[in-house]
Structure 1
Amino acid sequence: MTDDRADDLVTRLADLYRRTTMVGWDFTVLNGATTSDELPWDFEADCLAAMRRALHGTVVDLGTGGGERLSTLLDQLPARSGATVVATEGWAPNEPVARERLAPYGVPVLAYDAEAGPRMPFADGSVDVLMARHEAYDAVEVARVLAPGGVFLTQQVDGRDAFELRDGFGAESLYPHVRLDRARPDLERAGLTVDVADEWRGRLRFADVEAVVTYLALTPWTVPGFDVATHAERLVALHRSGPVDVTQARFRCTARKP
Structure 2
Amino acid sequence: MRTKRINYFDMVINKHEVYNVYEVKRILKPNDIFVTHQVGGKNNESLSKRLIKNFSSQYSYINFNYVSDELKRNSFEILYKNEYFTYLRFYDIGALVYFAKIIQWEFPGFSVDTCFDELLKIHEEFQNNTYIESLEHRFIIACKNIKR
TM-score, normalised with respect to structure 1? 0.52
1:196 touches 1:255 (CA, 8 Å); kept in 2?
Answer: yes
SS at match of 1:165: helix
2:79 aligned with 1:195 = yes
Q: Distance in 1 between matches of 2:17 and 2:57?
A: 16
Find the counterpart in structure 1 of residue 104 from structure 2: 220
Find the counterpart in structure 1 of residue 134 from structure 2: 246
Find the counterpart in structure 1 of residue 32 from structure 2: 150
1:166 touches 1:222 (CA, 8 Å); kept in 2?
Answer: yes
Find the counterpart in structure 2 of residue 115 from structure 1: none
Find the counterpart in structure 2 of residue 129 from structure 1: 11
1:167 to 49, 66, 85: 49
Q: Distance in 2 between matches of 1:233 and 1:153?
A: 42
Bigger relative contact order, structure 1 or 2, given CA contacts below 8 A and separation 6+?
2
2:28 touches 2:145 (CA, 8 Å); kept in 1?
Answer: yes
Amino acid at match of 1:199: E
Q: Distance in 1 between matches of 2:32 and 2:8?
A: 9
Find the counterpart in structure 1 of residue 64 from structure 2: 180
Q: Distance in 1 between matches of 2:9 and 2:28?
A: 5
Amino acid at match of 1:149: N
SS at match of 2:43: coil
Find the counterpart in structure 1 of residue 93 from structure 2: 209
SS at match of 2:141: strand
Amino acid at match of 1:221: W
Q: Distance in 2 between matches of 1:144 and 1:189?
A: 15
Q: Distance in 1 between matches of 2:14 and 2:39?
A: 11
Higher strand share: 2
Q: Distance in 1 between matches of 2:4 and 2:48?
A: 37
Q: CA RMSD in A?
A: 1.4
How many equivalent pairs are there? 140
1:174 touches 1:224 (CA, 8 Å); kept in 2?
Answer: no
SS at match of 2:105: coil
Alignment of 1:35-46 (within 5 A): none
Amino acid at match of 2:71: L
Amino acid at match of 1:157: V
Q: Distance in 1 between matches of 2:4 and 2:88?
A: 37
Amino acid at match of 2:28: L
Give, in angstroms, the shift of residue 122 of structure 1.
Answer: 4.1
% same residue: 26
2:44 touches 2:135 (CA, 8 Å); kept in 1?
Answer: yes
TM-score, normalised with respect to structure 2? 0.87
SS at match of 1:155: strand
Give, in angstroms, the shift of residue 159 of structure 1.
Answer: 0.8
Q: Distance in 1 between matches of 2:65 and 2:143?
A: 15
Alignment of 1:77-156 (within 5 A): 110=1, 120-156=2-38
1:172 touches 1:223 (CA, 8 Å); kept in 2?
Answer: no
Which residues of structure 1 form unaligned runs of 5+?
A: 1-109, 111-119
SS at match of 2:37: strand
